[in-house]
Structure 1
Amino acid sequence: MASRSPGIPRPDLTGRDVLAITVGIVIGAGIFRTPALVAGAAGSEAALLIAWAAGGMLSIVGALCYAELASAYPNVGGDYHFLQRAYGGRIAFLYAWARMVVIQTGSIALLAFVFADYASSVAPLGTHSVVVYAAAAVILLSGANWAGVKLGAGFQRWLTLVEVAGLVLVIVAGLLLAPAEAVPRPAAGGGSWGLMMVFVLLTYGGWSEAVYVSAEVKDSPRRMGTYMVAGLAFVTLLYLLVNLAFLRALGLGGLAASDAVAADVMRLAMGEAGAAVISLVVGIAALTSANATVMTGARSTCALGRSFTQLGWLGRWHGERNTPGNAIIAQAMIALLLVAGGAFARDGFQLAVEYTAPIFWFFLLLVGIALFVLRLREPDRDRPFRVPLYPALPAIFCATSLYLLYSSIAYTGIGALIGIAVLAVGAALLALLQPVTLEETWS
């Protein structure tokens, strides 16, 4: 039997891997931070829980839209490939460029810093302890994924199991072990649904990343939707339970006033030992999300390399390891540069990454519209999975993305110009590149 071309991905991943990527990248460090912000904007405990449930449902709607695109156009490029088919290579390039230089690499660096903060508190390594730990995390996770997709996916499965176990421990501590709030605390905010949903949907972010491995999954493309929805349904259940645990232990006002809500709950339930345990859990959650980001980010960079002659070295796929090795190396180098920059200007660095949010939601909106465009343009295309209740659910997804685009611009204000500057640099670079045809991209 002839061997598969070394430049083409092999379907080595399973449904468990898709679930681990979906769950692991969504349950990041955010769930240990944003509940207090959501509580601060909530008018009541019921409103807070409704917001978390609504966030899960809206994310599932988005996952259904992505599942149709992934089943019809399985490709390691994910969003990049969808945008390329719907709008052409130039729009898609700007998105992949932003992912490569800021969005994904910035996320990897920030998550590495979150892990490093907790690691340094347990075992400090001197003056530059945080930077050393952050750089080590980037190198370790990138190395594991460079060594092979099976090793990277194995890391993801085990890290996700530990991460979920830690979150379950917080739920048990808050619901069963911690004493219920002894003194009623004042209610939190006056009820700002818009602000609540911005923070809630931020915490659910990352679910779309699973489509970047759609070309590497053994099962039928139709099952991508099942895996993504199942993963998000599980995350939604966990998020509701953990917020119930926070409310039982701290009350709405106490939750809103807490700077480290999970640590406060664990301290009530288990003393200082419990607070120390949660530090470990947060560090592992950051590593879990970072590993999934390394895996999916490199695949969009690889697809970018396949689309332009001068970037061809980024698009090389190592057949034996079944991984985009050059793209992983390039991504790690950029992330390490951001880690080094963050050592000198952590606040400005974090703000620069956050200010790319308008760009992210703009392109997510374009992906939602692409579903309509591609259905009209390619009506005979085989779509193993179709969004139910079309066109209502895709319209809801687009409306949600449009709202978050507006909210992110309103939140960042003039800082959104940083994201525009990133795109402007990409547009200047695009003028120098020679695109290949869509058909040649994975030939």
Structure 2
Amino acid sequence: MDIHAPQPVGYAARLGLFSGTMLVVGGIIGSGIFLSPSVVAQRVGTAPLTLAAWGIGAVVAIIGGFVYAELGARRPQAGGTYVYLREAFGTLPAFLYGWALFLIMATGAIAAVAMTGASYLATLLGWAPENARAIAIALIVMLTLLNVLGVNIGATTGNVLTVLKLSAIAILVVAALIMSPANALPVPTVAAAPLMPPQGLTATVVAMGAALVPVLFSFGGWQQTNAVAEELRDPARTLPRALILGVLIVAATYLLVNVAYLRALGVAGLAASTAPAADTMFVYLGPAGRTLITCGIVASTIGFLGMVILMSARVYQAMAADGLFFQSMAALHPVTRTPVVALVAQGAVALVLLLTGTYGQLLDYVVFADWIFFGSTAATLFVLRRRDAHRDGPALVQAPGHPVTTLIFIAAAIYVVLGSIISNPGNAARGAGLLALGVPVYLYWNGRRTASRPPATP
């Protein structure tokens, strides 16, 4: 062994519990909580059922948080979901996750969220709407560059934006809970369709099931923090704590926001609103309230964008380190200790999707894939627990109620996937086709990896 040979560059463990928790919160709260509540109210038709839907979503998210917390404690490695799928089920499903993430799920989300944030920012600055795409390009480039410069810089930027978004949401909630309405909303020019609350148990179960699809999608995102495990200090302890704290913060935030919406707008007003957060702030604080919450939405979308850029690139790096993707993506910069090539490649694909305008359609095709991988990843806990049974002592964190709670989470994931397929079978078929395209790509990379291995010595 040559003691003078250069040592491979590894990740730097620079993030503590606060940054880890903000990664979880920032990775979940994007623009969904500002849009999805209207859809939920439309589907269930009453205030109690609206809050019940978000309560059920919170329970599922908390269960998922505990499942991922145990997985993170068992395998505190960069790559997160990719690593758990690889360890439990082999390299093909792990590769398909990374493939979908790189091709559409992360890059498409980056393009879509950048456009959302840019549109709100253009409105806030009084710029013409046609400037939104240029702003979105600048956001992707700037946030990618910040993440290239170091995980501390990327995470600190995300921390600031997450605190700002939580502050704006806190103002909204406090205003709705302690103030009296001061302004009436303008009467809409087009009358909203009357709400049709479900009658009877069967109808209620069906309506609640339909409402849970946007709720559970709004709660998605905590799993991404596991991808930066090696950049957390004492990851086997810090990652589980960050996951549990972050999911609890988001669950409380979502429930309080919906209480605020219902108090300000009523269930019919919430169902009819296209911008419930802005309408709620207008009711209590007038035009200044609209401006304030618009600032909060800008911070929320840009913060979410930065978190997706930071965390997703670690998956491609882990995949490349296994020989299943471009080898240049496996390298970490010797100074910044970041996966520079993976970050730049991710940004380039996101910009292509943005400039071609295909990101929305492609995301619709694979939106169900997120929950396929959520459910599959939860299932890895059964395999890893059995495989780790010979180790001394239990895991640092154990998902409470396993296996029942884990099965509940898997059932919720199956429900979301089936709901997505039933609601739009054409999109689901096209999304499945895009995933299937990853199989020959996997066979190519796996063949190259096998061919490059040195022959076994006799």
Post-superposition offset of 1:429: 1.6
- Deviation larger for 380-389 or 45-54: 380-389
1:259 corresponds, among 263, 274, 278, to 274
Return 331-340 or 172-181, whichever deviates more: 172-181
Alignment equivalent of 1:82, drawn from 76, 81, 84:
84
Supply the RMSD in Å over aligned alpha carbons. Answer: 2.4
Q: Aligned partner of 2:295: which letter?
A: L
Separation in structure 2 between the aligned mates of residue 181 and residue 125 of structure 1, nearest angstrom: 27
Q: Secondary structure at the match of 1:76?
A: coil
Structure 2 counterparts to residues 92-111 of structure 1, below 5 A? 92-111=94-113
**1:270-309 deviations in whole A, cap 9, x for unaligned?**
2222212222211111001111100111011111111126
Amino acid at match of 2:102: M
CA deviation after TM superposition for structure 1 residue 128, in Å: 4.2
Q: Is the 8 A contact 2:364 2:427 kept in 1?
A: no
The count of residues paired between Structure 1 and Structure 2 equals 432
What's the secondary structure of 1:224's corresponding residue?
Answer: helix
- Cα deviation for residue 254 of structure 1 reads 0.7
Instruction: Give 2:354's aligned amino acid.
Output: V
The residue that corresponds to 1:200 in the other structure is 215
Verify: 1:32 aligned to 2:34, yes or no. Answer: yes
Q: Give the match for residue 416 of structure 2.
A: 404
CA offsets, 1:115-152, max 9 Å, x none? 11112223366684111000001001101000101100
AA aligned opposite 2:58:
G
The structure whose Rg is larger is 2
TM-score by length of 1: 0.92
The one-letter amino acid paired with 2:332 is: W
TM-superposed CA distance for 1:238, in Å, is 1.3
Distance across 1 between alignment mates of 2:57 and 2:428:
24
Correspondence list, 1:12-411, <5 A? 12-123=14-125, 128-179=130-181, 189-190=197-198, 191=204, 192-308=207-323, 311-342=326-357, 349-381=359-391, 383-411=395-423
Q: Which moved more, 1:331-340 or 1:123-132?
A: 123-132
Unaligned runs of 5+ in 1: 343-347
* In 2, Cα distance between equivalents of 1:385 and 1:354: 35
Q: Measure the CA separation in 2 of the matches of 1:310 and 1:399.
A: 32
Which letter maps to 1:143? L
SS of equivalent to 2:444: coil
Measure the CA separation in 1 of the matches of 2:108 and 2:406.
29
Unaligned runs of 5+ in 2: 186-191, 199-203, 454-458
1:433 and 2:445 matched: yes
Q: What code does the residue aligned with 2:291 have?
A: A
Paired with 1:7 and 1:409, the residues of 2 have a C-alpha distance of 43
CA distance in 1 between partners of 2:126 and 2:248 (Å): 38
Q: Distance in 2 between matches of 1:182 and 1:147?
A: 48
Q: TM-score scaled by structure 2? A: 0.89
Q: Deviations over 1:170-219 (max 9, x none)?
A: 11222233519989x97564341101111111111101111111122113
Q: Secondary structure at the match of 1:433?
A: helix
Does the aligned pair in 2 maintain the 1:302–1:327 contact within 8 Å? yes
Rate the CA distance shift 1:310–1:301 in 2: closer, same or farther, 3 A.
closer
**Percent identity for Structure 1 against Structure 2:** 32
Shift, 1:220, TM fit: 5.0
| Residue 418 (structure 1) shift | 2.4
Partner amino acid for 2:276?
Answer: V
Distance 1:218 1:70 in 2: 13
Which one-letter code corresponds to 2:429 in the other structure? L
